[in-house]
Amino acid sequence: MFNKNQEVELLIEDLGTAGEGIGKIDGFTVFVKDTVIGDRVKVNLTKVKKNYAFARLIDVIEPSDKRVEAPCPIARACGGCQLQMMSYEEQLRYKADKVFNNIKRIGGTTDFDMRPIIGMEEPFHYRNKAQFPVGMNRDGEIIYGFYAGRTHSIIPCDSCMLGINPEGVDVNDKIMSIVKSYMEENDITAYDEESHKGLVRHVLIRIGAKTGQIMVCLVINGTRLPCSEQLVKALKNINGMTSISYNINTEKNNVILGREVVDLYGSGYIEDYIGDVKFRISALSFFQVNPEQTEKLYGKALECAGLTGNETVWDLYCGIGSISLFLAKKAKKVMGVEIIPQAIEDAKINAQINGIENAEFLVGAAEDVVPAYFENNKGAAECKPDVIVVDPPRKGCDEKLLNTVVRMAPKKLVYVSCDSATLARDIKWLEENGYKLIEATPVDMFGQSVHVECVALIVKQL
Ligand code: SAH
């Protein structure tokens, strides 16, 4: 019926979970990246299956009223932004729908209060962190930028529109051009994934949105960074430079950071604030990338927790204790659990520098630490908490953990999620085990991308 490389025209009527446009021709489904609902497009079929096909956009014949001109010149090629050609209003609608539909379809419920999405005031220049892959082009020149969607070919980019620009300056650009000159001048090679040869794999940059402090960390396929003093000399003059280091990652995998960080300048961390809580952030620690929206996200989580000062609370997947410290100010006792040891070290220091004495932190996988704690401390107040907050990575909570959560029987569970599909799966499990979803609030932390955060309040049924 349809063939590969065939050109067809169609109307985009829906969007998939990765932001791809979906259209139909005589009941046959076609997925087209870079399109918006309402676009009439001409496409080229790139992969044809029995009932559906993937296609590449050739031309927008009639643009949707929701389409805008993508402000970044490499928006289409770069894998970082999927929704730049969609008006921000439409992006928010898409994300809110995605959360609601996942909870309905996977979670099996519509009996809850779906709150309006909390959007960003300025959906560009919000990221406090960038990770530039470094490589070589066909002419042997060092390049850096971002991966193209679904592949690891590097799309050169020296000025990403998502990065925070302190004082209106593109610091990422400045740093990356210094790193490139340092590499060229000192014959430092770029890493090549295929041969697993070459030294510099990635450059991680973090900027404190409120403090202006900057961290640069080169991820290398080796244990030594030659002539590093040259790099330090050039970088340390940048206003705000606080930490320069390298990270050792000699593994043949897709994980960006290895386990070990070697400091070259400064003591390995920067500081920043969320609200009035000060945080110490190391290269290996997780810290939310959008500080402005993080304040709103944590505010919502705190509102859901509804603390009065007498509560015992767990904060699972706590990172450097960000949510824990907000909770601790309003609770009797907070127990934080996190798998990365450095993050827990940061969490303890963060409690100290904020004068918080009622937070305790445990290191390990939540699905191991919490069940073990529950077994070994029967009768302790911590085993009968009032509220449990969870903020897991995309894969959601382990069932072993949820089992213990239910046995601990908190009145409230506040679920902060970065993947509404796994959130919905866990909601379904919890609803089958004595809990009920009350409300869900999507929060847009990642403007221009398909990702969306969500805070859900789940309460124990009497
Ligand atoms: N609540 C924190 C961090 C959320 S990100 C914040 O808002 O900043 C999720 C965190 O879960 C990361 O810090 C990650 O290291 C941690 N993590 C991943 N798997 C885990 C597990 N099985 N048990 C505990 N923590 C885990």
* pLDDT tens readout for residues 300-337: 999 999 999 999 999 999 999 999 999 999 999 999 99
Residue 426's pLDDT band (boundaries 50, 70, 90)? Answer: very high
Check: CB of residue 326 under 8 Å from CB of residue 302.
yes
Which of 207-220 are b and which e, b meaning 16 or more Cβ less than 10 Å from the residue's Cβ?
Answer: bbbebbbbbbbbbb
Q: What is the pLDDT of residue 21?
A: 96
pLDDT score at 158: 79
Q: Which two tokens stand for residue 70?
A: 């993508």
Q: Is 100 exposed, middle or buried (0-12, 13-18, 19+ CB in 10 A)?
A: buried
Pick the atom of ligand 1 nearest to 416's CA. 1
From atom 21 of ligand 1, which residue's Cα is the shortest distance away? 365
Q: Name every residue whose Cβ is closer than 8 Å to that of residue 121 and which is 6 or more positions away in sequence.
A: 292
- Regarding the beta carbon of 288 and ligand 1, being less than 6 Å apart is answered yes
Considering only CA atoms, which of 69, 48, 60 is closest in space to residue 10? 60
Q: Is the CB of 319 under 6 A from ligand 1?
A: yes
Inter-residue contact 289 to 362 (CB < 8 Å): no
d(CA 117, CA 120): 10
Residue 337 CA to ligand 1 centre (angstroms): 8
What distance in angstroms lies between residue 205's CA and the mean position of ligand 1's atoms? 20
Q: Whole-number mean pLDDT of the chain?
A: 95
Contact 211, 272 (CB under 8 A): yes
Q: What is the rounded CA–CA span in Å between residue 371 and residue 375? A: 6
Taking the CA atoms of the chain, what radius of gyration do you get in angstroms? 24
Contact 312, 305 (CB under 8 A): no
* SS3 state at 374: helix
Helix (H) or strand (E) holding 229: helix 228-235
167 pLDDT exceeds 80?
no
Task: Single out the residue of 394, 344, 348 nearest to residue 369, CA to CA.
Answer: 344
CA distance 170 to 159: 7
Query: Average pLDDT of 255-269?
Result: 95
If one residue of 206, 256, 339 were mutated to test the ligand 1 pocket, choosing by the most ligand atoms within 8 A of its CB, it would be 339
Give the confidence band of 149 by pLDDT, cuts at 50, 70, 90. Answer: confident
pTM here is 0.92
Give the Cα-Cα-Cα angle 240, 126, 421 (nearest 5 degrees): 135
Per-residue confidence (pLDDT) for residue 288, from 0 to 100: 92
285 lines ligand 1 (CB under 6 A): no
- Confidence (pLDDT) at 311: 98
pLDDT of residue 151 exceeding 90, the answer is: no
Handedness of CA 326, 329, 331, 333 (dihedral sign): positive
pLDDT recorded at residue 353:
95
Q: How far is CA 34 from CA 4, 19, 358, in A?
A: 19, 8, 49
Question: Residue 159's pLDDT is what?
Answer: 82
Among 347, 323, 339, 317, residue whose Cα is nearest residue 426? 317
Residue 7 has pLDDT above 90, yes or no: yes
Does 157 qualify as catalytic in the annotation? Answer: no
Per-residue pLDDT tens digits for 331-351: 999 999 999 998 999 999 999
337 Cβ closer than 6 Å to some ligand 1 atom: yes
pLDDT at 136: 94
Q: What is the mean pLDDT of residues 112-123?
A: 97
The rounded distance, in Å, linking the Cα atoms of 383 and 372 is: 11
* Alpha helix (H) residue ranges in 23-115: 88-105
**How is the beta sheet containing 214-220 ordered, strand by strand?**
154-156, 142-147, 129-136, 200-207, 214-220, 241-248, 260-265
In short, whether 227's Cβ falls inside 6 Å of ligand 1 is no
Distance of alpha carbon 324 from alpha carbon 371, whole angstroms:
19
Cα–Cα distance for residue pair 158/177, rounded to 1 Å: 8
Is the CB of residue 365 below 6 angstroms from any atom belonging to ligand 1? yes
Q: 178 φ, ψ to 5°? A: -65, -45
pLDDT (0 to 100) of residue 169: 75
**Residue keyed to tokens 């009639």:** 62
User: 309: buried, middle or exposed (CB in 10 Å: 19+, 13-18, 0-12)?
Assistant: exposed
Query: Strand, coil or helix: what is 243?
Result: strand
Residue nearest to atom 11 of ligand 1 (CA): 317
